[in-house]
Chains A and B, each alone.
Chain A
Amino acid sequence: MKWLGWSCLLLMLAGLYGGLVLAPPDHEQGESYRIIYIHVPSAWMSLFVYLVMAVASVVVLVWRVKLAAILAQCSAPLGASFTFLALVTGALWGKPMWGTWWVWDARLTSELLLLFIYFGYMGLDSAIADRSTAARACAILALVGSVNIPIIHFSVEWWNTLHQPATISKLGKPSIHPSMLAPLLIMVAAFMLYYATAVFARVRCELLAQERGAQWVRELVSRG
């Protein structure tokens, strides 16, 4: 836990230094493109966290693993946070570049929908008192909502949107200079570690709360 957090902080500082100090300004967007170093990692994580929740939901529905339910449940607020950050930083980038905070284009609208799905998930989770019923209901909601994920991902290709096409793709060379790309990849790694750190902190709380009668909790409490 500690170890994860510190390596996350280290990577984040390195990424920030590379992105804010070392990387040159963009020749079209000037200095404003530096928002990319939090916008892209947030947006990717908003999808990645949802994928984690979707996989965990399958595990919940098929094998009824309690830990998977806790993982999915603890991931939701983090996914919502990343989605919120992607939207806010996107708006702050859109204002100087497009002249508007918000447009109803495919990429932005589907990302906003993702935020509402996260909220719906969290609402459903807290509305059902029985934990195993809540876990199953949430798993179904997460799987239904996963239809939105490919829509977000491919929205810049399927529709003619204002949002710029992907900077980095798995195939082909990225359309970005290495001095700009390296900090971005470092930031993505840092956000991944951040998610791992934050989700473990939540899972630990949840386990502690749900297993309060168990032997290991008592031992932990009496030791600390």
Chain B
Amino acid sequence: MGERAGEPRLKMDAFFDLGGYGFYVWSAYTVALIVLVLNLLIPMSRNRRLLRRLSGRPGRER
């Protein structure tokens, strides 16, 4: 095995494998990422929708 050439690759593998716990750790981080991003996207798209609707018919929905 090419020890020297393979070293960075092995390091990356170890980083993602996390001593066998990779699945648990990375799925936890993935779920967290999805939930956090969704919680920002939902109000942002609602804001855009609201502004568009309000500018389309000013004053009518009072």
Q: Name B's interface SS.
A: helix
CB–CB B19/A204 < 8 A: no
Q: A34-B25, A201-B43 are in contact. List 19 more A-B contacts (CB 8 A).
A: A30-B21, A31-B22, A38-B28, A38-B32, A85-B32, A85-B35, A89-B31, A92-B28, A93-B28, A95-B24, A198-B39, A201-B47, A204-B47, A205-B47, A208-B47, A209-B50, A217-B54, A220-B51, A221-B51
Select the stretch in A52-60, A64-72, A76-84, A140-148 that faces chain B: A76-84
User: Measured between C-beta atoms, what is the minimum distance from B10 to chain A in Å?
Assistant: 15
CB–CB B28/A89 < 8 A: yes
A to B CB contacts below 8 Å, 7 in the list: A31-B25, A34-B25, A35-B24, A42-B32, A202-B43, A204-B43, A213-B61
CB–CB A194/B43 < 8 A: no
A96: Cβ under 8 A from any B Cβ: yes
Contact count band on A: 35 or more
Q: Name A's interface SS.
A: helix
User: Measured between C-beta atoms, what is the minimum distance from B23 to chain A in Å?
Assistant: 8
CB–CB A31/B32 < 8 A: no
On chain A, the residues within 8 Å of B62 by CB distance are 212-213
CB–CB A205/B46 < 8 A: yes
How far apart are the CA atoms of A77 and B18 in the complex, in Å? Answer: 32
On chain B, the residues within 8 Å of A204 by CB distance are 43, 47
Q: Which residues, 27 to 57 on A, are CB-close (under 8 Å) to B?
A: 30-32, 34-35, 38-39, 42
CB–CB B55/A222 < 8 A: yes
Number of B interface residues at 8 Å Cβ cutoff, please give it.
Answer: 29
Chain A residue at smallest Cβ distance from B36: A194
On chain A, the residues within 8 Å of B24 by CB distance are 32, 35, 92-93, 95-96
How far apart are the CA atoms of A84 and B36 in the complex, in Å? Answer: 11
On chain A, the residues within 8 Å of B40 by CB distance are 5, 197-198, 201
User: Measured between C-beta atoms, what is the minimum distance from B21 to chain A in Å?
Assistant: 4
How far apart are the CA atoms of A218 and B54 in the complex, in Å? Answer: 8
Q: Which residues, 166 to 211 on A, are CB-close (under 8 Å) to B?
A: 194, 197-198, 201-202, 204-205, 208-209
A224: Cβ under 8 A from any B Cβ: yes
CB–CB A222/B58 < 8 A: yes
User: Measured between C-beta atoms, what is the minimum distance from B49 to chain A in Å?
Assistant: 9
User: Measured between C-beta atoms, what is the minimum distance from B32 to chain A in Å?
Assistant: 5
Q: Which residues, 1 to 48 on A, are CB-close (under 8 Å) to B?
A: 5, 20-21, 25, 30-32, 34-35, 38-39, 42
